[in-house]
Amino acid sequence: MAVLVTGGAGYIGSHTVAELIEHGEKVVVADNLSTGHKGAVLDVPFYAVDIRDSEEMTALMQRHDIDTVVHFAANSLVGESVQDPLKYYENNVAATAKLLSAMVKANVKKVVFSSTAAVYGEPERTPIEESDEKEPTNPYGETKLAIEKMLDWSYKAYGLKSIRLRYFNAAGAHGTLPIGEDHRPETHLIPIILQVALGQREAVSVFGTDYPTPDGTCIRDYIHVMDLASAHRLAVHRLRSEEGGAESFNLGNGSGFSVKEVIEVARAVTGHAIPAIEVERRAGDPAALVASSDQARRLLGWQPEYADMSAIVSSAWAWHSSHPHGYDDET
Ligand code: UFG
């Protein structure tokens, strides 16, 4: 029995592989390395395969006695998805349909799927609960929601069980293994702030100061990547039990931090002034996204360990300061 992790060379994927190995799971990684890093693949069997290659995917599931797939492989840039929606329908929706076909063929009937807070769009209330309205405001969120629906129907038709984990804002790094966040291009707030602290950027741009929030900047729910990883491990356990079917869980800390607050925390953690420039809003940013993760706590038994924002930023800083050029620093 083993777990196949698609996208296991990516940020959240590689940290989940670490968590699974640390808890005694046999893990196999499939990643076409389009955005992942070879250096992020831990010491497990690795296939540089595209999930659309159904024949190869079916064969490797059989070869390694896979019982559960943890599916990360996807494109995940909100802005890019607006510019090129068909890329997201192709690489997220169509590719996942191929992967599920390979799973059905190999008789693998359990999948943990990497979903997102972007399925909710502009939320009607916070904290957001799983049953709240889903009106994605960009093709990225739309394609993730389409896959969730594909999984609903696949449960009814093939008995393929799924847990969809809707992440809020992932941050931080493993801590002991040399894996962390390295996106090219980098668009996320915390790594960008830390690049300023490293002297790689002059300043961080604050996108919008006229939101209906206490300090006018956007509020997000930051969650440590190893807390996301532990939720995946618990989801695998739940799928293997008699429980579950086709379920979705939010993953966040339940408390929001504004852009200005995150910058303040990073100034304290790094001891760097981190100049900030106030600029226009970025298109498509909701004012506040904060999760209710009660269901994940109740049904998965999930307990995030890093609720403290400065612990999350310190963890990210430890990786960025020891790997200022990301995986290019690994030899
Ligand atoms: N921000 C800045 N300056 C920057 C970068 C970001 O002010 O240079 C702001 C953004 O406007 C936003 C906040 O910081 O208000 C967080 O932005 P990120 O880009 O780090 O994260 P997002 O909240 O936009 O996106 C994250 C995930 C997406 C997911 C989304 C769910 O990265 O994959 O949450 O809404 F879709």
- Tell me the pLDDT tens digit for each residue of 271-296: 999 999 999 999 888 999 999 999 99
Residue list, ligand 1 pocket, CB within 6 Å? 76, 78, 116-118, 140, 169, 187-189, 192, 204-207, 218, 220, 259, 282, 285, 289
* CATH code where residue 269 lies: 3.90.25.10
pLDDT in tens, 62-96: 999 999 999 999 999 999 999 999 999 999 999 99
Answer yes or no: do 241 and 285 share one domain: no
- Mean pLDDT score of the chain: 97
Answer yes or no: do 210 and 281 share one domain: yes
pLDDT band at 307 (very low <50, low <70, confident <90, very high): confident
Answer yes or no: do 137 and 198 share one domain: no
Q: 186 C-alpha vs ligand 1 centroid, how far in Å?
A: 11
Buried (b) or exposed (e) across 136-175, using 16+ Cβ within 10 A?
Answer: bbbbbbbbbbbbbebbeebbeeeebbbbbbbbbbbbbbbb
- Both structure tokens of 164: 């969809």
In a domain, 299, yes or no: yes
Answer yes or no: do 44 and 83 share one domain: yes
In a domain, 11, yes or no: yes
Q: Is the pLDDT of residue 331 over 60?
A: no
Answer yes or no: do 260 and 320 share one domain: yes
pLDDT in tens, 16-48: 999 999 999 999 999 999 999 999 999 999 999
pLDDT in tens, 208-262: 999 999 999 999 999 999 999 999 999 999 999 999 999 999 999 999 999 999 9
Number of domains in the chain: 2
Q: Is the pLDDT of residue 116 over 70?
A: yes
pLDDT at 329: 77
Answer yes or no: do 35 and 137 share one domain: yes
Domain that holds residue 276: 189-220+254-330
Active site residue 89: no
Answer yes or no: do 202 and 101 share one domain: no
Residues with Cβ < 8 Å from 157, sequence gap 6 or more? none
Q: Is the peptide bond before 275 cis (omega within 30 degrees of 0)?
A: no
pLDDT at 302: 98
Is this prediction's pTM over 0.95?
A: yes
pLDDT at 236: 98
pLDDT at 198: 97
In a domain, 212, yes or no: yes
Answer yes or no: do 200 and 309 share one domain: yes
Residues with Cβ < 8 Å from 263, sequence gap 6 or more? 193, 204, 206, 274, 276
pLDDT in tens, 140-158: 999 999 999 999 999 999 9
Of 47, 140, 211, 222, the active-site residue reads: 140
Instruction: State the average pLDDT over residues 171-200.
Output: 96
Answer yes or no: do 247 and 259 share one domain: no
What is the interface pTM, i.e. ipTM, of the complex? Answer: 0.96
Residue at which a domain ends, from 251, 268, 303: 251
Instruction: State the average pLDDT over residues 114-138.
Output: 96
Answer yes or no: do 216 and 226 share one domain: no
Q: Is the pLDDT of residue 13 over 70?
A: yes
In a domain, 176, yes or no: no
* CATH code where residue 40 lies: 3.40.50.720
In a domain, 19, yes or no: yes
- Both structure tokens of 242: 């008699």
Answer yes or no: do 229 and 144 share one domain: yes
In a domain, 283, yes or no: yes
Atom nearest to 140 CA in ligand 1: 36
Answer yes or no: do 215 and 226 share one domain: no
